[in-house]
Amino acid sequence: MSQPQSPTPRTRLVREPQRAVYDRAEAYKILDEGFICHIGFVADGHPFVIPTGYGRAGDNLYIHGSAASRMLRRLDQGVQVCVTVTLLDGLVLARSIFNHSMNYRSVVVLGTANAVEDPAEKLEALRLLSEHIIPGRWAESRQPNEKELKATLVMKLPIEEFSAKVRKGPPIDDAEDMSFPTWAGVLPLKTSVDAPVYDPQLDPATAVPEYVRNYSRTK
C-alpha cells in the first residue's frame, strides 16, 4: 500500500528533484532487493562510510556485527548515522559525454540506531538478516549459540527520516546533439546467479536446496 512521506529538510532532494520518491512502500521495495548498505557516521572527528549487510522488518532496519566493532560501538553511543542502499539498473549512453548517466534506485535513511537487548528480538533480528540475504537458509542451518549471541551486536534503526531517488529511461540529450553520429541508449545491468559451487568437504550426495537452485534477488 502506498504511504507517501513528507520529506524533512535533510531528506528533501534538491538536485534532480523530479527523481525523488517519498513513498514508503516504494522505498521498501528498494531496501528489500538490495544486499549491502553503506553506513556513514563520524568518530573522533573523522567521517567513515562502512559497507555491511542488513535486514528489514516493518519500519526498522537491522544491522549486526562483532560486539567489538568500532562502527557498532559508536552507533550504540547514539551518534547520527546515514544509511544508503543503491541498486544499479543500467548505464545510460548519451550522444555527449556530459549527458551520460546511470539508471538506478537508491534509498537514504537518517537517524539514530539502538542496540537490541531483548534476547528473543535479537535472535529474530539475526533470522531476518539471514532471510534477507537468502530466504530459507535459516531453518536449515545451525542456530546461533549463547557464546555467538554474546559476541554479536545487533543494532536497530527506525526508518523515520528517509528518501528515495530513482533514475530510469533513455538518455536526455541536448537538442543540438541529436544528430551526432554515435549510438545512444541504455545498457541494462542485473545481478545474475551462476551454478552453485560445492564445498570441497561436503558429501557430494547432498542435494542443493531449492532456494539455492532457484535463487533470485527480485522481490
Which CATH number goes with the domain that contains 68? 2.30.110.10
Per the domain annotation, does 104 fall within a domain?
yes
> Whole-angstrom Cα distance, residue 64 to residue 55?
9
Establish if 180 belongs to a structural domain. Answer: yes
> Which element (helix H / strand E) includes 68?
none
> Do the domain assignments include residue 150?
yes
pLDDT at 3: 67
142 inside domain: yes
What the block records as the C-alpha cell of 62 is 537491522
Q: What's the number of domains the chain is made of?
A: 1
pLDDT reported for residue 164: 95
Please check whether residue 6 lies inside any domain of the structure: no
Domain interval for residue 174: 17-213
Which residue from 108, 104, 118 is spatially nearest to 80, judged by alpha carbons?
108
Residue 107 lies in a domain: yes
In a domain, 181, yes or no: yes
In a domain, 196, yes or no: yes
Which stretches of the chain score pLDDT less than 70? 1-4, 218-219
Q: What per-residue confidence (pLDDT) applies to 219?
A: 56
